[in-house]
Chain A
Amino acid sequence: MKLNIEGLLVYFPYDYIYPEQYSYMLELKRTLDAKGHGVLEMPSGTGKTISLLSLIVAYQRAFPLEVTKLIYCSRTVPEIEKVVEELRKLMEFYSKETGETNNFLALALSSRKNLCIHPEVSSLRFGKEVDGKCHSLTASYIRAQRHSNPNQPVCRFYEEFDAVGRQVPLPAGIYNLDDLKDFGRRKGWCPYYLARYAILHANIVVYSYHYLLDPKIADLVSKELAKKSVVVFDEAHNIDNVCIDSMSVNITRRTLDRCQNNVDTLQNTIQKIKETDAAKLREEYRRLVDGLKEASVARETDIYLSNPVLPDEILQEAVPGTIRTAEHFVGFLRRFLEYLKSRLRVQHVVQESTPQFLKDIFDKVCIDRKPLRFCAERLQSLLRTLEIADIADFSAVTLISNFATLVSTYSQGFTIIIEPFEDRTPTIANPVLHFSCMDPSIAIKPVFQRFQSVVITSGTLSPLDIYPRILDFRPVTMASFTMTLARTCLCPLIVGRGNDQVALSSKFETREDFAVIRNYGNLLLEMSAVVPDGIVAFFTSYVYMENIVASWYEQGILENIQRNKLIFIETQDAAETSMALEKYQEACENGRGAILLSVARGKVSEGIDFVHHFGRAVIMFGVPYVYTQSRILKARLEYLRDQFQIRENDFLTFDAMRHAAQCVGRAIRGKTDYGLMIFADKRYARADKRGKLPRWIQEHITDGSLNLTVDETVQLSKHFLRQMAQPFRQEDQLGLSLLTLEQLQSEEMLKKITQIAHQT
């Protein structure tokens, strides 16, 4: 259907539209009009992706000079593929309606591992190996050597692409990863480099978060993307953790050992080159004396996205004299490395700020701050000069040099924690240096600064106002949308007591309490008798799950449950988990159904959907707080309190509730779907916890379902399930939660729609 959204003609590829989708597009359009950033929360399963795509594509067509590109960031490869499929549908609709072939170019980009078509390279198993092998076939000097030595192996796909591919642009169309590979095979071009080249002039790019947020990758892939782009972060409820992870560095003893090997190799290579080809080193030296002018010019002319690892002040200065020649630099690395080794030899936990670290390093090994700051850049230059083919081998020394640059650049927002052993195994020495970023805004800042609109969206972003605070930006729109429903298809229940009136809680004091464990078991047992098909149960941690399941086994509860349903368990091993999942779904397809025991923050809670009968009930045992004793977390909380005035408890609760919401949200993936959401902990009834759940869950929590016993829960569930199991046709939804174009244009509906968006 064709919609008119505040004067913008939007093609929407379906015959019906949800009212909240309309409202969502309205808000989105206002964000784009204002050229600002937005935070939008809309429940999962209400068609966020298609609303986003159809509005932004329409906007792009209407104002081709205002918005030139859409950068859609998602988390996993399957999600990326899903987005591309939606886009394909939209484009087909466009060409059907307008009757003309449009010249839209949209493509997905992923790692070499997913895109390589070279027969030998693509057969490698790990991403790192593929990258390394690819680099050893395509690096510029390898190809230069081939001129003199035709036996030097190179990648013929890359050669072909380099010879012809750049002149001929990728024909317009929608390309997912397989399409790119097919196209590459047909033409004999390398799909990976083709895609990387094509994103510069594509209208829509779909790729993973890391291509924008991880400074090392962003520098390679995304730095030339146009300023007038709209960036969308989908499923962004974890974006702060992604930012933090991309800036943090963990250094173990093994890293240092490998780094030592790297440095030795570097030294040997330098010796060798000095004997054979000293001119090359002299050339590099001359370049360094002149400074990094090249990069500086590029940034001034605003071609590139800025890089947090390469701070601006570096570009304006020349490399300091202390690390200008190759030997001096290797000596410098060696000293830095030995210093780190000596720091790792601690007996107790050390926590210090970056200035303290810098002072100490100067006292111990006379390393100034300035050369440290240039370390990463200098190493890159050296690696280029030495023409080392297999970059993958040098990951350790690259890591160390990145660490050096970060530690000397940022005096705030980072902390250094050296732990001689892990908390759980205090007898085994396993020293780790955590250089942990506490400020997610550092990694995402270039994105907000560069692009005119950044939209952060997810099904669970509540409370909305915390994201702008921790990411340090000013959104023009913040809105939370609810789900309009023809029938209340979700039923959140808070179970606070067992049948024996014992308070249910996963708090630390009652973790080992048999009464609580027994009541939890009882709850699961009773539910397994009433709920058809699949039940997913989430625990707060692997350890807690192990304890409880062991205890259930001893008490014979497991045996009773197994009379009703099969039980599957998520483990830390990815292969095992995916096996369990597969079997769980198989069991749901036939028979009495199954129970999947899994862990909040685990793989299942983040990426797997349990549509329809795969998840008729989700039980959340306890409140999934993070492990609060971790020093990294403590440091981060302290930082949040000091810098952003966010209290520890607020943040912890916020974090726990977003994960709880993420878990229970797995069950409802659309309006025809239905499911129970059982929060089994009395703490959920408190206003501060409840208030942090997304609004679309909150509105269905009635006062009557705040502190139920197991029996009452079973009664309510029975009632709910029986009601929901009645046939439900599309006509029932029409006019209420599903609209045709005529209905949408009616006066009263428009009035209703304006109420859906909940501005904050």
Chain B
Amino acid sequence: MDDQGCPRCKTTKYRNPSLKLMVNVCGHTLCENCVEMLFVRGSGNCVQCDTPLRKSNFRVQLFEDPTVDKEVEIRKKVLKIYNKRDFDFASLREYNDYLEQVEDIVYNLTNNTDVENTKQRMEQYQRENRDVIQRNKAKLTREQEELEELLLLEQQGNEQRRLEVLQEEQRQLQAKRKNKQALLDELEQSHVPAAILLAKHKVRAAQLETQIEQQKQTVKPASLFSTGIHMNQTVSLQPLPRIEEVLYQYKPLQVETYGPPVPELEQLSRLGYLNHVRAAMPQDTAGGYTSALACHRAIQDAFSGLFPQRG
């Protein structure tokens, strides 16, 4: 890091630790002083590649390799235009092809190959997809959303934990104080020898400690809606893929009871079964209960399994 320096005035980081290196769009470095000197009028040409530059475009160099600075700059610009998300594509394959295309553009611009053509392509794309670009401006990619969500969770978790610890401490302190006060009161009023009281107190204090430990409980913050969908999740606008399958055919359930056939619910009273069960009281019938129901169930219970299966 120390051998980095300004190519013009040859000052290095080693000799001047407060040296500030700046980078412009062409990816060539200059130190702050040189920038001030060369670009007094607000614009000028790069010392190394003669690209016309503006002073306002100079940024502090973040990385050791100035081309990376340049690339990041370009990339940010390109990504502003090429901001389609994965849910704008029908398949992952298409999305990946698109990503590669973006990457190609950035690569070309950074390495100064085929710049004119690439710029044209970008402009064309921008014209064609103006509304998509507008729409996606505020949206994050799904991955970023997940990240944001995680960060939020983490913050919440930290905050909650801090509060819990604080509360816990206070509660403990109070409990201990109370315990101590109780001991003093007892010593004052009771006729039992002090040694026994003290021993009792000791036991109680130990119990209190264990109680406090047991009280630890963790409350998880909610990150899900009750439907199971994550909060803040974007729902895709793509139509749901249709699933082509054979339609479901209902087949009535066949229950093998291994017993004599159970009389129908309606026939119970006719066959006299209901004479042997408690008649339904008016308050029972309010909820839709009839004595036939209970009777029917009891008969089912009794009849099933009467003829054990052979073998």
What residues make up the interface of A, taking CB atoms closer than 8 Å to B? 289, 317-322, 324-325, 327-328, 331, 334-335, 338-339, 341-342, 345, 353, 355-356, 358-359, 362, 364-366, 368-370, 411, 642, 645
Contacts and interface: CB of A to CB of B under 8 A. Distances in A.
Contact of A328 (B63, B64, B100, B216): B100
B96 A331 contact: no
A365 B64 CA distance: 13
Contacts of B154: 353, 355-356
B64 A341 contact: yes
Contact of A359 (B75, B100, B147): B147
A528 B92 CA distance: 75
Q: B76, B148, B151: which has the most chain A beta carbons within 10 Å?
A: B151
Interface in B194-252: 216, 218
B97 A321 contact: yes
B95 A321 contact: yes
Contacts of B218: 645
A366 B68 contact: no
Contacts of A411: 150
A328 B68 contact: no
B256 interface: no
Contacts of A355: 147, 150-151, 154
B143 A370 contact: yes
Contacts of B1: 345
B103 A321 contact: yes
A411 B95 CA distance: 25
A364 B62 contact: yes
B161 A642 contact: yes
Contacts of A369: 143-144, 146-147
Q: B71, B102, B103, B141: which has the most chain A beta carbons within 10 Å?
A: B103
A321 B161 contact: no
Contacts of A319: 96
A359 B99 contact: no
B98 interface: yes
Given A318-B92, A328-B107, A369-B147, A338 B65 contact: yes
A259 to B, nearest CB: 13
A324 B143 CA distance: 19
Interface in B144-158: 144, 146-148, 150-151, 154, 157
A342 B148 CA distance: 23
A335 B99 CA distance: 17
B107 A327 contact: yes
Interface in B95-153: 95-104, 107, 110, 141, 143-144, 146-148, 150-151
A474 B147 CA distance: 31
B72 interface: yes
Nearest to A354: B150
Interface residues of B, number: 38
Q: B107, B143, B148: which has the most chain A beta carbons within 10 Å?
A: B143
Contacts of A331: 71, 107, 110
A685 B311 CA distance: 69
B163 to A, nearest CB: 14
Interface string B157-168: 100010000000
A362 B72 contact: no
B96 A320 contact: yes
B279 interface: no
A98 B3 CA distance: 76
A364 B72 CA distance: 8
A318 B147 contact: no
Interface string B53-85: 000000000111100100110011001000000
24 contacts: A289-B93, A317-B92, A321-B95, A321-B98, A322-B100, A322-B102, A322-B103, A324-B96, A324-B103, A334-B68, A335-B71, A338-B63, A338-B65, A338-B68, A341-B64, A345-B1, A355-B151, A355-B154, A359-B151, A364-B72, A369-B146, A411-B150, A642-B157, A642-B161
A289 B92 CA distance: 11
B162 to A, nearest CB: 12
B94 to A, nearest CB: 10
Contacts of A334: 65, 68
Given A355-B151, A365-B68, A318 B96 contact: yes
Given A321-B96, A322-B103, A339-B63, A368 B151 contact: no
A319 B75 CA distance: 20
A320 B86 CA distance: 11
Q: A289, A318, A321, A359: which has the most chain B beta carbons within 10 Å?
A: A321
B100 A321 contact: yes
A359 B155 CA distance: 14
Nearest to A408: B143
Contacts of A322: 99-100, 102-103
A417 to B, nearest CB: 16
Nearest to B65: A338
Contacts of A356: 151, 154
A157 B251 CA distance: 68
A143 B28 CA distance: 45
A324 B95 CA distance: 12
B161 to A, nearest CB: 7
Nearest 5 CB-CB pairs, A to B?
A321-B99, A321-B100, A321-B96, A338-B63, A355-B150
B211 to A, nearest CB: 16
Nearest to B93: A318
B67 to A, nearest CB: 8
Contacts of A321: 95-103
A318 B76 CA distance: 25
B168 to A, nearest CB: 12
Nearest to A288: B96
B103 A335 contact: no
A400 B259 CA distance: 72
A327 B107 CA distance: 9
A186 B157 CA distance: 64
Contacts of B148: 359
Given A341-B63, A356-B151, A362 B99 contact: no
Contact of A324 (B62, B65, B100, B147): B100
A365 B72 contact: yes
B151 to A, nearest CB: 5
Contacts of A338: 63-65, 68
A411 B151 CA distance: 10
A335 B143 contact: no
B95 A335 contact: no
Nearest to B157: A642
Contacts of A341: 63-64
B296 to A, nearest CB: 45
Nearest to B76: A366
Contacts of A642: 157, 161
Given A355-B151, A359-B147, A411-B150, A320 B65 contact: no
Contacts of A289: 93, 96
Nearest to B94: A321
Contacts of B151: 353, 355-356, 359
A300 to B, nearest CB: 19
A328 B104 CA distance: 8
Contacts of B147: 355, 358-359, 362, 369
B112 to A, nearest CB: 14
B214 to A, nearest CB: 11
A364 B76 CA distance: 10
Interface in B1-49: 1
A289 B99 CA distance: 12
Nearest to B1: A345
B121 to A, nearest CB: 17
A324 B103 CA distance: 10
Given A318-B93, A320-B96, A342-B63, A645 B72 contact: no
